[in-house]
Structure 1
């Protein structure tokens, strides 16, 4: 389980995250939604220790992961993250990149071979990442998140750049990871995939959490997920959905 309590983050005088609290239960596939600039990526970066929150706390399976003002120092066996499809040295191969990550966490090379097969990169693992398509780079990042077989996984827009076959593959993988008992949190703008796969929905609006519901409860009496989402975010360009 991932538990977040009172998380806050500001850049100068601009508040980016304001008192964010939620849980992602074990076995739950939860989607994080919000307009551009709502704070989704900042939230994931704080959860993953890439950025430091100003206040609040984060727990994994009841154990402190990080508190405001401190960065977590945990192996990949507790938290897996994929937040940036370009966070790779282009001259490295996928195998070399993943072996470097694995050895930094005391994980054997056999696990690297396993995750390369899981993400269907085993036949091209020795090509430079700079030669990969966007969808293939997404798969490298997903493989890195899976290396330590962690109980909590965070993904930021992992569907970007995937073709239809890749989207179906990732949809199936995310569902299986959650069904195996992991807490999976995914930021996405692809509402069709959210509707197909989500257990719960979180919505950020201006750095505040404005929805935290099971999918069916979030939909309520809305005719579809798009209407429910636009009502939650109160898009000013769509006044008929303003909250």
Structure 2
């Protein structure tokens, strides 16, 4: 539905995005992961046409793009963007903000009360936004997107300023949006939470997509591992006395990961027993999460 094709963007002599290409389809949430200043927000702004790429294009349904003002209007019928908190009007109520977004995109406000109830906003939504806490404003920004109800939604740090209960609340709403067939691109620093709802996660580095992971695929990030937390000297010491499987990885400077698919069931028990015999008790079986891969790619 949404296609990013060979997008390139630089600021001065710094290349931020280099020929970035991918497609997003109905019922798909794509997470964008990279350190600050490495292109996530730039990409979202290009998709909205807030920024113009130096090369490449953004299209919807293989027919609409930013080739003319008429086409731009058509693009924005499909697209909405999480509002910046600084762009909210202090003197207007949350309800008035939601009503504005609903009328701009849908031309009606019939779903607003349901959104308010689902996001537990009833007790404050008709108060001026200037009285809201950071978390209340963040929830309002998300509610405004729900009121717009576009087919494609772009979100930059939607969980910012939320306590754990509200993070869970918005996570459940995102899962419901996915079920309804929405396309969502979301940049978030809550990486473990991103694993709960994203179909795909794109890791960016040096302007390129470094790694793309897909929900349900047996690939580098989604397969299961024996995970052992070890420092490097101890890992090297163990390797000297026992041959590790060839595709064992040392991740994020702290985790030895042995892919289960490389082992027979009896070998799995043997490996776990080996680490216990070495008095290494922090041994688990599970997936390598997005947060661990983030540390591997960016914090070395």
TM-score range, shorter chain: 0.7 to 0.9
Task: Give the RMSD, CA atoms, in angstroms.
Answer: 2.6
CA displacement at 1:127 relative to structure 2: 0.7
Greater CA drift, 79-88 or 137-146: 79-88
Q: Residues 42, 76 of structure 1: CA spacing in aligned structure 2 closer, same or farther, 3 A cutoff?
A: same
Match of 1:230 in 2: 295
Gapped runs of 5+ residues in structure 2?
Answer: 226-250, 252-256, 258-287
Query: Is the Cα–Cα contact under 8 Å of residues 76 and 148 in structure 1 kept in the other structure?
Result: no
Match of 2:189 in 1: 189
What is the rounded CA distance, in whole Å, between the counterparts of 1:74 and 1:148 in structure 2?
15
Deviation string 1:63-122 (CA, Å, 9 cap, x unpaired) is 324359999324764112105233211121112222233333462232333433343323
Query: Is the Cα–Cα contact under 8 Å of residues 53 and 69 in structure 1 kept in the other structure?
Result: no
Match of 1:32 in 2: 32
Match of 1:241 in 2: none
Match of 1:108 in 2: 108
Q: Residues 48, 122 of structure 1: CA spacing in aligned structure 2 closer, same or farther, 3 A cutoff?
A: farther
Larger RCO: Structure 1 or Structure 2 (Cα < 8 Å, ≥ 6 residues apart)? 1
Deviation string 1:17-66 (CA, Å, 9 cap, x unpaired) is 21111112211121110011111111111112222222222122333243
CA displacement at 1:12 relative to structure 2: 2.6
Query: Is the Cα–Cα contact under 8 Å of residues 79 and 151 in structure 1 kept in the other structure?
Result: yes
What is the rounded CA distance, in whole Å, between the counterparts of 1:6 and 1:193 in structure 2?
29
Q: Secondary structure at the match of 2:32?
A: strand
What is the rounded CA distance, in whole Å, between the counterparts of 2:11 and 2:100 in structure 1?
32
Q: Secondary structure at the match of 1:47?
A: helix
How many residue pairs get matched?
A: 235
Query: Is the Cα–Cα contact under 8 Å of residues 101 and 144 in structure 1 kept in the other structure?
Result: yes
Gapped runs of 5+ residues in structure 1?
Answer: 239-243
Match of 2:238 in 1: none
Deviation string 1:171-214 (CA, Å, 9 cap, x unpaired) is 11111111211111111111210222221111111322212221
Output the TM-score relative to the length of structure 2: 0.70
What is the rounded CA distance, in whole Å, between the counterparts of 1:106 and 1:171 in structure 2?
24
Does residue 134 of structure 2 align to residue 139 of structure 1?
no
Does residue 42 of structure 2 align to residue 42 of structure 1?
yes
CA displacement at 1:145 relative to structure 2: 1.5
Query: Is the Cα–Cα contact under 8 Å of residues 48 and 79 in structure 1 kept in the other structure?
Result: yes
Which structure has the bigger radius of gyration?
2
What is the rounded CA distance, in whole Å, between the counterparts of 1:75 and 1:123 in structure 2?
35
Output the TM-score relative to the length of structure 1: 0.85
| Correspondence list, 1:156-235, <5 A | 156-215=156-215, 216=217, 217-219=219-221, 223=257, 224-225=288-289, 226-231=291-296, 233=297, 235=298
What is the rounded CA distance, in whole Å, between the counterparts of 1:117 and 1:45 in structure 2?
30
Q: Secondary structure at the match of 1:62?
A: coil
What is the rounded CA distance, in whole Å, between the counterparts of 1:34 and 1:68 in structure 2?
32
Q: Residues 13, 145 of structure 1: CA spacing in aligned structure 2 closer, same or farther, 3 A cutoff?
A: same
What is the rounded CA distance, in whole Å, between the counterparts of 2:123 and 2:110 in structure 1?
15
Match of 1:153 in 2: 153
